[in-house]
Amino acid sequence: MDLIIKNLSKTYPNGVKALDNVSLTIPQGMFGLLGPNGAGKSSLMRTIATLQAPDSGSIHLDAIDALEDKMALRRVLGYLPQEFGVYPRVSAEDLLDHMAVVKGIVNRGERRETVKALLEQTNLYEVRKRSISTFSGGMKQRFGIAQALIGQPLLIIVDEPTAGLDPGERNRFYNLLSEIGENIIVILSTHIVDDVRELCRNMAIINEGRVLFAGRPQAAMHELRGRIWERTIEKAELAEYQQQYRVISTKLLAGQPLLHVEGEALEAAGFQAVEPSLEDVFFSTIQGKNQAVQSVSVPA
């Protein structure tokens, strides 16, 4: 089962082109959609979730034409948007029960078992009587996943799920998503590179509404092997190095800029070769956004 997106475009009334001829084939498992803020990730997620119509293009989930039969897609969709609104004074158990009714589980016994299983799966059963307003950010996100899992969906979309979570909650969320993604399609939309590296077998990089890369994280890093170099410099030298080299990222290390540069044979300039990271792939791809779309073949 694949989610096949072809030539999807969307321009908002204010003239912003949110999606520009997007085509992707998303297989079963965890799929990372990586891009900076404002890249078009949320627009793509909302379009896949049938919350907005594209100007052109198509979306198919197996035999379902998502644009022609929105209800068929919604019956097999779980969606956790970036801003997940809940009724803060309602208990987790009662709210999940209400959402199960909305999803069509009308039999009380079946609904009780479904709610219990989902609360246990997301490690919220012990706090099921507490109101959502007392939950931490991570607990609210896990509740969001619980509601997205109602009805045994074939496709789950999670939009920026780990932003603001502490490391412990983030790890628990990673483990939960990994478990869910074994048997269905889970699209993880994020600007956090670690999320994709930790969780996803396949990924795409999007910026300014365009897909710049699609493939496997490991294959993408392999493509850059031998081309990423680093060195520390003085702050006053930064502008000079940016003019002379293809600097893809900088960060301060003990008060000095640490540069990552893409190129060949830079030992004589004081650079040291390093193993490419997914962060290097991301910055290299974004900087090359005006070049042709990159693609790495996915082994069978």
How much is the average pLDDT of 226-248? 94
pLDDT of 84 over the 80 cut: no
Given a cut of 60, is residue 296 above it in pLDDT? no
pLDDT for res 176: 85
- The CATH class given to the 1-76+153-216+292-300 domain equals alpha beta
Q: Which of 36, 54, 30 is nearest to 44 (CA)?
A: 54
Residues 6+ apart with CB under 8 A from 156: 77, 78, 79, 80, 145, 148, 149, 180, 184, 185, 186, 187
The CB density around residue 254, as the number of other CB atoms within 10 Å, is 6
The model's confidence at residue 291, banded by pLDDT at 50, 70 and 90, is very low
The residue behind tokens 């799929």 is 31
* CA–CA dist 233, 212 (Å, integer): 30
Instruction: List the chain domain ranges.
Output: 1-76+153-216+292-300, 86-143, 222-291
CA dihedral defined by 263, 203, 147, 3, rounded to 10 degrees? 150
> Is 86's pLDDT higher than 70?
no
User: Tokens 């949320």 map to which residue?
Assistant: 42
What are the residues whose beta carbons fall under 8 Å from the beta carbon of 6, sequence distance 6 or more? Answer: 23, 57, 58, 59
Pairing of strands 256-262, 228-232: antiparallel
**Distance between CA atoms of residues 77 and 75, nearest Å:** 6
Q: What is the pLDDT of residues 25-78, one digit of tens each?
A: 999 999 999 998 889 999 999 999 999 999 999 999 999 999 999 999 998 999
Q: Residue 299 — very low, low, confident or very high, per pLDDT cuts 50/70/90?
A: very low
**What's the pLDDT score for residue 87?**
66
pTM of the model: 0.84
The distance from CA 239 to its chain's CA centroid, rounded to whole angstroms, is 33
pLDDT at site 300: 32
DSSP class of residue 236?
A: G
- pLDDT, position 188: 92
Residues of the chain with pLDDT > 70, as a percent, come to 93
Distance from C-alpha of 208 to C-alpha of 137, rounded to nearest angstrom? 29
AA identity, residue 257: P
Residue located via tokens 């509601």: 147
